[in-house]
Amino acid sequence: MKGDVVNSDGVHVAVVIDSAIFDLKGRKLYDLKGSRIYRLSGELVGHLNETGGSLRRLDKATENLF
């Protein structure tokens, strides 16, 4: 799976590739299991909402991760 992550303003903030979330410079930031976002240490930190296709939107509470 590959897709883009946008915030509530529609700004592209990250990329999803398989089960990982990368910043726009290509650094792995988080693991993704389903719609749940985990720190690399395994701590649950938020959720993604699918908006259709390959676009995913951050929950309002998770926007501070980026």
| Structure tokens given for 12 | 């592209």
What are the beta bridge partners of residue 46? Answer: 37
Token pair 């980026």: residue: 66
43 vs 60, higher pLDDT: 43
47: exposed, middle or buried (Cβ count in 10 Å: 0-12, 13-18, 19+)? middle
Q: Give the Cβ contact number of residue 16 at 10 Å.
A: 20
12-59 per-position pLDDT tens digit: 999 999 999 999 999 999 999 988 999 999 999 988 876 666 778 777
Confidence class of residue 8 from pLDDT cuts 50, 70 and 90? confident
| Structure tokens given for 3 | 């897709």
CA dist., res. 7 & res. 42, Å (int):
23
